[in-house]
Amino acid sequence: MELSERQKAIIEIVKMNEPISGDKIAEHLGLTKPTLRSDLAVLTMTGILDARPKVGYIYSGLSFEPLLHEQLFEKKVADLMTSSIIVFPKTSILDATTSLFMYDSGSLYVTQEETGDLVGLVSRKDLLRSLINNQDNSLSIAVIMTRMPNIITAYPEMTIVEAGRLLTQHEVDSLPVVENKKSKKVIGKISKTGIMQHFIKMGSE
């Protein structure tokens, strides 16, 4: 697996115009920024480009080997997934907030107590919004959670590049990992941070 022609074109544009914004890169290619989102994610996560807030994209100067690309992107979600924080629909907003900060997690996955099936998700933003709105924190998180089927999931056999594209496309920090495509049973999570750490480790070896 090698870089696509569009990804190579993006690298050349950045080299000649750095620092450059995503909008400007898209303008050079005659495309929209959302169209380039997955390409930019690949190039930044592999360390070829460096994305700096309020500055833009910069070429890192790192060389790129197809073999390394293969090693990076043939990795499965199962290889990088970590434990997830699980709560139940009846859990109070107060208890959910405590769990989220105790485990320093960006989100909590809500599952059926009997089956372990995913029924919802609660993020830091959801909990913060409930506090700002002076919502009764004794209420259950079922009141504020995002419900299935509006939750994007990953599964163990998915490649990390597929997971990375979903994370980027839906602008979320992590995805719940379920047993397989047809299952709703949560067995872990895959995060942007975890994928990035993998790329850094592979690139440093």
Tens of pLDDT, residue by residue over 176-202, are 999 988 889 999 999 988 888 877 776
Cα–Cα distance, 31 to 34 (Å, whole number): 9
**Residue 187 and residue 104 in one domain:** yes
**Residue 84 and residue 27 in one domain:** no
In this prediction, residues 151-178 reach a mean pLDDT of 89
Where does the pLDDT of residue 73 fall: very low under 50, low under 70, confident under 90, or very high at 90 and above?
low
Where does the pLDDT of residue 67 fall: very low under 50, low under 70, confident under 90, or very high at 90 and above?
very low
Peptide bond into 19 cis (omega under 30): yes
**Residue 132 and residue 181 in one domain:** yes
Neighbouring-strand partners of residue 76: 159
| End position of a domain, from candidates 18, 34, 59 | 59
- Which structure tokens are listed for 45? 């996560």
Cα–Cα distance, 111 to 117 (Å, whole number): 5
Contact 172, 195 (CB under 8 A): no
Is 64 part of a structural domain of the chain?
no
In the chain, % of residues over pLDDT 90: 34
Give the residue numbers spanning the domain of 26: 5-59
**Residue 36 and residue 82 in one domain:** no
Is 171 part of a structural domain of the chain?
yes
Q: How many domains does the chain have?
A: 2
Q: What is residue 55's DSSP assignment?
A: T
CATH assignment of the domain containing 28: 1.10.10.10
**Residue 141 and residue 183 in one domain:** yes
In this prediction, residues 114-139 reach a mean pLDDT of 85
